[in-house]
Chains A and B, each alone.
Chain A
Amino acid sequence: DGGITQSPKYLFRKEGQNVTLSCEQNLNHDAMYWYRQDPGQGLRLIYYSQIVNDFQKGDIAEGYSVSREKKESFPLTVTSAQKNPTAFYLCASSMGRGRNQPQHFGDGTRLSIL
């Protein structure tokens, strides 16, 4: 079955450490997205990518970096510059074409500070 796989499910970061969250999709979607969710809040867009080797900053990109070397993969690195990284991170993808293609989401990664 097609879908979006995020790993790991839980991740812990030490002070000053960079960590990378994995997102893989086999839906043949062109566009991929990373969202951050804090308790009691909606999702906020971190980065998005419409095509391979191209990505754009979302609303809260500071302290994060991404790459899009393959269509299927869109890893997110939480750098040491992100001072409050504890949150739930969701990856999503959608078709690049089509006026009303919805976003499909992975199961998320919960990141905590040690």
Chain B
Amino acid sequence: AQTVTQSQPEMSVQEAETVTLSCTYDTSESDYYLFWYKQPPSRQMILVIRQEAYKQQNATENRFSVNFQKAAKSFSLKISDSQLGDAAMYFCAYRSPSSGSARQLTFGSGTQLTVLP
């Protein structure tokens, strides 16, 4: 079974600065998908960024980028120019490509990000 570990329960960053959230995972599969979701105080889960394991290029979405290290099974999220609205719980998630699993997500325990003005 796949596991996802987020070793930083809490992080803080100064507004306009850069912060990196860590995520590691354990899998025996060679093809899979990785996601970062954001959960603000409203509790809605919002997709931030996604990465296919077969792609070597790191995904980027505006101020959000990932550092995907497949051999190390590491998938960190970098937030540049942090804004107050970035404050939220961030979850790393893994998804198997196997049809039998219905593409279910395995989540890490989350990192609570605080943005300081």
Contact = CB atoms under 8 A, between A and B. Distances in A.
Interface of A: 31, 33, 40-45, 48-50, 56, 58, 88, 90, 92, 94, 99-108
B64 interface: no
A45 B4 CA distance: 14
Contact of B102 (A48, A107, A108): A48
B110 A100 contact: no
Contact of A102 (B9, B47, B102, B107): B47
B45 A105 contact: yes
14 contacts: A33-B105, A41-B110, A45-B104, A48-B102, A48-B104, A50-B102, A56-B102, A58-B104, A90-B43, A100-B33, A103-B103, A107-B44, A108-B43, A108-B44
Contacts of B52: 99-100
